[in-house]
């Protein structure tokens, strides 16, 4: 059973007693049979919202009854895609040049460099037939994440075959692959990161903070590649197809949905649907997630609908990690759309009983499809054997890397320029505008709290509680109550990014100083942490709980906003206690807990002061540093169009803000002179914490 309200029912919580737990256990839900799936709470919550959006979308699609409805849908899809991307750059001269040629018996391979934006170089190979009569039909061939970029043997086999069959075919290195490593390290002779998908998502995080998507750059490369293809006299502009596998299947779907010049499409090993994605592998890397896709009522089938009624072939692997069930469901939905347009024969699905990749059965289906629709011919010829070139032979640059041959722009530098042009003006938004930006939705009514046992200490008492932040979200917490004679005591809500157990010494020291401390595991922290990501250790090291964070963004929420809600509801818990002075409430956030705490304070006037320890110094610093770690869970799309963290802290005036050891994007403490440049407003006190300094010593003046 997946975690839900049944697991966290209040009746169950009432029945739980301290006798059921080890007295000193601070992660007290762990091991209890009713809470075995506590780590499923956050992902199940996000997926429930996603399911609601998808159900609403199905009802919308069922109401499409004819061409006018479908045309309106196509316009809607394009408008939402463009908004998610942040628009496209200006169309500037390509400055294309041929840097070399490889000759084959019946085709040639031209090595091309062009500029999709000024100084942003794209390396490509153009396969041109030597037989037949031009102008030829053409194939735009976006590549997937497989190694080697355009030199990958499977791509060479497909591209060479297309050329032998009388098509001009163009492939280019995607960002982070082949000759276009974006975060190139000259000492390593390769990317600073392992794998193109990590590069994509590292850059994608920076793009999201500006309000764009890294797909903006990748799609634009593809559209400019199409511009170049159509500039060639050998190409018939009325007969252009597009096909690619995996990440290339993604971009086939994108390009076909956005550009009317493409007349036939065949994405391979990509199209499924979001319901099945979330049940299986979850959201993929940054360019494959256009935000807020699900909140906008969109799904994979909308790429097909935006292309209808032109010829569209879905190529699928039965044993792919992209769910074949989802592919079939998308196909069946699209069948109805094509039938309404009187073009049912222009939609097809080909499945091969194999795994992920542009395998021979799918390639053969693609040759037949494009021959049928772009050449008006049936092609049953076998696939020829292609003479493969080495990676070096296909280089379009002298060194095999744009970074060392041509220099120029990268996504990192272009995004920095973009950030400067979009620099915010004025004070940060507040109230409803800030809440909407972070996806914060405050539930109505009193918060429900249930006890879970106590721990007695000589100077304080520790109460274990669980409160329902909103339906489906139960927040475990510790209430540390000092044994002092005061009837009403000051109180602080404490949120540590590694959970309440990681903060044990600090919260006890704060409580012994005379204040009540509520230390919580906001959703996704501590014992509610989702730990079943399948992206690998490198991915988790850089992006944390990417699955939940990206799913939240897809449904129009943010983990910052969701966790800020847990903080605000924790304030409700404190405010309704008879031993708390409601006029003396404070908040303290540490590490990944600090950004949500800051936003909670901005939305909750009852919190009179706040301390932020080891908080990300600024979102702008993420855009200005090539590498970051642990930032993705704190992403707010487009935040830098509105405010940055120092500005939000300053906007809390006259409330006091203590900033302790703010950190750089890689996790190191920011040098004091740099921190002072960011946090120089009168209501902000900037401090350093000595290694031996206790929380009581550090925060003594803040508590008073």
Is the model's pLDDT at 312 over the cut of 90? yes
Say yes or no to pLDDT of 3 above 50. Answer: no
* pLDDT value of residue 36: 63
Task: Assess contact for 447 and 474: CB atoms under 8 A.
Answer: no
Give yes or no for a contact between 598 and 618, defined as CB atoms under 8 angstroms apart: no
Beta strand pairing status for 516-520 and 190-191?
Answer: unpaired
Question: In the predicted model, is pLDDT for residue 531 greater than 90?
Answer: no
Span 230-234, average pLDDT: 98
Confidence bin at 24 (pLDDT 50/70/90): low
For 90-145, the pLDDT digits (tens) are 999 999 999 999 999 999 999 999 999 999 999 999 999 999 999 999 999 999 99
Determine the pLDDT at residue 487: 85
For the cut 70, the answer to whether the pLDDT of residue 388 exceeds it is yes
Tokens of 417: 């320029």
Higher pLDDT, 694 or 101: 101
Rounded to the nearest integer, the mean pLDDT of the chain is: 93
What tens digit of pLDDT does each residue of 181-219 get? 999 999 898 899 878 999 999 999 999 999 999 999 999
Reported as a single tens digit per residue, the pLDDT across 605-646 is 999 999 999 999 999 999 999 999 999 999 999 999 999 999
**20 pLDDT higher than 60:** no
What is the helix (H) or strand (E) element at residue 367, kind and residue range? helix 360-374
Q: What integer is the mean pLDDT of 471-478? A: 94
Q: Measured between alpha carbons, how far is residue 404 from residues 70, 188, 594, 686 in Å?
A: 48, 13, 40, 42
Residues 6+ apart with CB under 8 A from 114: 94, 95, 96, 97, 121, 122, 124, 224, 225, 228
The confidence score (pLDDT) of residue 39 equals 84
Is the predicted pLDDT of residue 540 greater than 80, yes or no? yes
User: Predicted confidence band at 704 (pLDDT cuts at 50, 70, 90)?
Assistant: low
pLDDT tens string 390-434: 999 999 999 999 999 999 999 999 999 999 987 777 789 989 999
Task: Tokens for 225, please give them.
Answer: 């590649």
Task: Round to whole Å and give the CA distance between 202 and 356.
Answer: 24
Question: Matching CATH topology for 67-421 and 425-703?
Answer: yes
pLDDT tens digits, one per residue of 554-586: 999 999 999 999 999 999 999 999 999 999 999
Break the chain into its structural domains and give their ranges: 67-421, 425-703
Q: What is the pLDDT of residue 485?
A: 86
Instruction: Give dist(CA 455, CA 464) in Å, integer.
Output: 8
* 425-703: CATH number: 3.40.50.1820
261-274 pLDDT per residue, tens: 999 999 999 999 99
The CATH homologous superfamily of the domain defined by 67-421: Alpha/Beta hydrolase fold, catalytic domain (3.40.50.1820)
pLDDT-based confidence at residue 443 (cuts at 50, 70, 90): confident
Residues 608, 587: contact at Cβ < 8 Å? no
Q: Identify the band that residue 6 occupies on the pLDDT scale cut at 50, 70 and 90.
A: very low
């Amino acid at each position: 059973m997946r975690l839900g309200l049944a697991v966290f029912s209040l009746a169950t919580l009432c029945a739980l007693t301290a006798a059921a737990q080890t007295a000193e256990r601070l992660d007290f839900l762990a091991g209890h049979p009713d809470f075995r799936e506590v780590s499923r709470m956050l992902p199940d919550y996000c997926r429930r919202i996603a399911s609601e959006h998808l159900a609403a979308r199905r009802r919308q699609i069922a109401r499409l009854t004819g061409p006018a409805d479908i045309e309106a849908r196509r316009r809607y899809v394009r408008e939402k895609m463009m908004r998610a991307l942040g628009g496209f750059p200006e169309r500037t001269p390509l400055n294309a040049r041929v840097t070399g040629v490889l000759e084959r018996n019946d085709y040639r391979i031209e090595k091309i460099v062009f500029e999709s934006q000024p100084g942003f170089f794209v390396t490509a190979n153009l396969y041109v037939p030597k037989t037949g009569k031009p102008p030829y039909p053409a194939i735009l061939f976006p590549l997937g994440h497989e190694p080697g970029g355009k030199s990958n043997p499977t791509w060479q086999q497909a591209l060479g075959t297309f050329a032998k069959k009388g098509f001009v075919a163009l492939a280019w290195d995607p960002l982070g692959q082949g000759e276009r490593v974006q975060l190139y390290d000259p000492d390593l002779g390769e990317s600073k990161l392992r794998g193109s998908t990590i590069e994509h998502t590292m850059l994608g995080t920076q793009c999201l903070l500006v309000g764009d998507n890294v797909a903006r750059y990748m799609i634009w490369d593809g559209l400019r590649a199409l511009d170049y293809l159509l500039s060639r006299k050998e190409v018939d502009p009325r007969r252009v197809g597009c096909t690619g596998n995996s990440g290339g299947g993604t971009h086939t779907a994108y390009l076909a949905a956005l550009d009317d010049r493409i007349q036939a499409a065949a994405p391979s090993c990509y199209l499924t649907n979001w319901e099945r994605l979330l049940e299986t592998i979850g959201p993929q890397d940054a360019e494959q997630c256009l935000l807020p896709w699900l909140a906008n009522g969109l799904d994979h089938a909308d790429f097909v609908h935006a292309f209808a009624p032109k010829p569209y072939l879905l190529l699928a692997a039965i044993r792919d990690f992209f769910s074949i069930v989802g592919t079939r469901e998308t196909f069946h939905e699209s069948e109805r759309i094509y039938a309404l347009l009187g073009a049912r024969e222009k939609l097809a699905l080909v499945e091969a009983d194999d795994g992920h990749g542009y395998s021979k059965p799918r390639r053969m289906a693609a040759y037949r499809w494009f021959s049928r629709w772009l050449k008006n011919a049936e092609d049953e010829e076998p696939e020829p054997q292609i003479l493969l070139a080495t990676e070096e032979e296909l280089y379009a640059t002298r060194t095999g890397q744009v970074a060392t041959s041509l220099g120029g722009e990268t996504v990192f530098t272009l995004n920095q320029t973009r950030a400067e042009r979009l620099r915010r003006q004025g004070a940060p938004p507040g109230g409803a505008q800030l809440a909407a930006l972070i996806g914060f939705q405050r539930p109505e009514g009193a918060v429900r709290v249930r006890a879970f046992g106590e721990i007695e200490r000589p100077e304080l008492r520790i109460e274990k509680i669980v409160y329902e932040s909103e339906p489906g979200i139960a927040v475990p917490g510790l209430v540390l109550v000092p044994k002092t004679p005061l009837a009403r005591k000051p109180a602080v809500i404490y949120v540590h990014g590694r959970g309440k157990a990681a903060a044990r010494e600090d919260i006890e020291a704060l409580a012994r100083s005379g204040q009540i401390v509520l230390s919580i595991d906001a959703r996704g922290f501590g014992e509610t942490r989702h730990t079943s990501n399948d992206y690998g250790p490198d991915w988790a090291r850089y992006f944390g709980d990417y699955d939940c964070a990206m799913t939240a963004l897809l449904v129009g929420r943010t983990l910052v906003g969701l966790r800020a809600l847990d903080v605000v509801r924790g304030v409700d818990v404190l405010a309704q206690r008879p031993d708390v002075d409601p006029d003396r409430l404070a908040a303290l956030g540490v590490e990944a807990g600090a950004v949500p705490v800051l936003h909670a304070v901005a939305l909750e006037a009852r919190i009179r002061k706040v301390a932020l320890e080891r908080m990300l110094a600024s979102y702008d610093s993420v855009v200005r540093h090539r590498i970051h770690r642990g930032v993705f869970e704190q992403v707010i799309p487009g935040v830098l169009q509105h405010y940055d963290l120092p500005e939000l802290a300053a906007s809390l005036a006259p409330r006091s803000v203590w900033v302790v050891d703010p950190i750089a994007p890689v996790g190191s403490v920011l040098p004091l002179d740099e921190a002072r440049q960011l946090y120089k407003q009168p209501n902000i006190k900037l401090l350093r914490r000595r290694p031996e300094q206790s929380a009581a010593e550090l925060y003594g003046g803040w508590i008073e």
